[in-house]
């Protein structure tokens, strides 16, 4: 599946999303396409539309010259707030999505930042639903 939907969605929102993460307070509605998770975990139409099909697509996302660096920059922005909870920064629902996304991209062989997110915000525990879906 094409990654163009992510490029289109991020065109007008990436800078805002990164700024919100750097400030430590998510306010907008961008989680689906900034920190995507497996499509099989999505419940809403939006979550399914921006869902990642499998590890091969996750690897393609990481290898994309725009999307990969943006994802890592957003992960690193989250890591600047270690000591706070993901729920405090993102809200409870999006904190669960971050755990799923970090688990997916850690398994896909992405930057060490994804494992660090799991360590810093989730006591090193990956998302069990993502792990089961990838098994």
Does 1 have pLDDT greater than 70? no
Residue scoring higher pLDDT (60 or 110): 60
Q: Please state the domain count of the chain.
A: 1
Q: Write the CA distances from 126 to 7, 12, 47, 131, integer angstroms.
A: 27, 31, 20, 7
Q: What dihedral angle (degrees, nearest 10) is formed by the CA atoms of 95, 51, 46, 123?
A: -10
- What range does the domain containing 69 cover? 4-134
Indicate which CATH number applies to the domain containing 20.
1.25.40.380
d(CA 52, CA 38): 5
d(CA 114, CA 68): 12
Confidence class for position 42, pLDDT limits 50, 70, 90: confident
- Report pTM: 0.95
Confidence class for position 110, pLDDT limits 50, 70, 90: confident
Q: Please give the full DSSP string across 10-51, using - where no structure is assigned.
A: HHTTHHHHHHHHHHT---SS-HHHHS--BGGG--SHHHHHT-
Mean pLDDT value of segment 73-97: 97
């Amino acid at each position: 599946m094409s990654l163009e939907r992510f490029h289109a969605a991020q065109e007008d929102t990436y800078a805002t999303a990164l700024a919100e993460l750097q400030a430590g307070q998510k306010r907008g509605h961008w989680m689906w396409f900034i920190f995507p998770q497996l499509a099989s975990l999505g419940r809403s139409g939006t979550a399914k539309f921006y869902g990642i099909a499998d590890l091969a697509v996750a690897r393609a996302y990481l290898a994309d010259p725009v999307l990969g660096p943006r994802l890592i920059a957003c992960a690193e922005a989250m890591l600047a707030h270690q000591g706070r909870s993901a729920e405090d920064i993102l809200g409870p629902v999006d904190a669960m999505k971050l755990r799923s996304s970090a688990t997916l991209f850690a398994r896909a062989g992405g930057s060490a930042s994804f494992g660090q997110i799991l360590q810093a915000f989730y006591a090193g525990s990956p998302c069990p639903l993502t792990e089961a879906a990838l098994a």
